[in-house]
Amino acid sequence: MELILGYLGLGLMLALAGIGSSIGTTIAGNAAEGALKLNAEKSSSYMILSAMPATQGLYGFVAFLMWMGKDFAADGAQLFGVGLGVGLVCMFSAIRQGQVCANGIVGIRQGHDVQTKTKI
């Protein structure tokens, strides 16, 4: 039973971090797509902001690699708890980071709109 819990925790760590990362990147990417239609000059800023939530998936992967050498038979419950905790934290922070980055993209785009209106 400990072995199953250990592998399940390790899988949750990686899976939840990846799920959150993909959701966060999608949120920011959607905002970047809309902003690109109005201001293609800022594409590098949009690309950087839309890629930032992907870092949470990398953190989950690094944690996964760090825990790979543990004894699954003896530390199964501990691995499950750590895996679930790290996975959930990475998932929720990636989603929130995607929302914050989307707001940053909108802010960059609106700054361009304000500058354009004042020049006229």
Q: What is the pLDDT of residue 75?
A: 80
For the stretch 71-100, pLDDT in tens is 777 788 888 999 999 999 999 999 999 999
Alpha helices per DSSP H over the chain: 2-38, 43-51, 54-67, 76-119
For the stretch 10-64, pLDDT in tens is 999 999 999 999 999 999 999 999 899 888 888 899 999 999 999 999 999 999 8
Query: What does pTM read for this prediction?
Result: 0.83
Distance of CA 40 to the CA centre of its chain: 24
Q: What is the pLDDT of residue 3?
A: 87
